[in-house]
Structure 1
Amino acid sequence: MSIIIKFFIAPDDTSAASSVDSGPDGVPGSLTCGNFDASEAVIEWESLLTGQSFEVLVASDEPHAVADLGDEGGPLLFVVSHSLQGALTGASTDRLAEVGELWIQERAAEGEVFDPEMVGELLSDLADLARTADRRGHSLYCWMA
């Protein structure tokens, strides 16, 4: 699996969608990672942080796609739910570490292996990005290609 994932903030869906073709390169404060399904991961993280079941979150149609060119072999752009953004914003370092460990265990059950240090840094950086988005009144987005 070779997937490029970029989390970034934008004031609204229209502004975020302007980066769908090439990705949010050059956007200050963006976070780049890769090689996992971010659209599934954000649901898992939200479930772990908020206690909502994975099934309920999927049924609520999260995450909301802003642009999905996947049928054409293009990127996917979605907005992270307000609930997850808020949970990341309010999460302590210890809570993020706990969620990271639980997520690693969930993924291991599916045969995926993640480095605990990488996951810890990812969730910490993502929480910082969510806090910046909150301070600016923006939303957190994810671009995958």
Structure 2
Amino acid sequence: MIEWECLLADGHFDALVDAGEPRFVAGQEDDGCVVFALSPRLSATLAAAEQPELERAATAWSRRRKEDGEIIDGEVAKSILSGLAALAGTARSRGEGVYCWVAQDSRRRPK
């Protein structure tokens, strides 16, 4: 989420972390699952983003992940950001927030 905000809303990693973004909402240490709230700025930016902007951000996101050894197909990245933008638009029109549930891959969990 921080990468998305950096790519789409000109956020800066350190400033976002210092501001407590993304905001932790809930989590359980037992299973590694956590829930974060998208910042109002990221939500607004996603809701207003045009498809070419989302595609540029998705390409950059996919490239950044690849540099860190995590492969996210460019088309999958575009689909994720496009779907998230649609969700953010719907949520904002209803006065609601957007939340991201993250589960730790059990295969990566230390033993």
- Deviation (angstroms), 1:139: 0.3
2:23 paired residue number: 64
- Deviation (angstroms), 1:74: 4.4
> Which whole-Å CA distance do the structure 1 matches of 2:65 and 2:100 have between them?
20
Give the structure-1-normalised TM-score. 0.68
User: Residues 73-98 of structure 1, C-alpha deviation per residue, up to 9 Å, x if partnerless?
Assistant: 24211111101101101110000000
Alignment of 1:1-145 (within 5 A): 42-69=1-28, 71-145=29-103
Q: Which of 1 and 2 has higher RCO (CA within 8 Å, sep 6+)?
A: 1
Unmatched runs of 5 consecutive residues or more in structure 1: 1-41
- Deviation (angstroms), 1:123: 0.5
RMSD (Å), alpha carbons: 1.0
> Which whole-Å CA distance do the structure 2 matches of 1:113 and 1:72 have between them?
27
What is the DSSP-based 3-state SS (H/G/I as helix, E as strand, rest coil) of the residue aligned with 1:65? strand
The one-letter code sitting in structure 1 at the alignment partner of 2:6 is: S
What is the DSSP-based 3-state SS (H/G/I as helix, E as strand, rest coil) of the residue aligned with 2:26? strand
> Which whole-Å CA distance do the structure 2 matches of 1:114 and 1:75 have between them?
21
Across the two proteins, how many residue pairs are aligned to each other? 103
Quote the sequence identity (%): 39
> Which whole-Å CA distance do the structure 2 matches of 1:124 and 1:68 have between them?
26
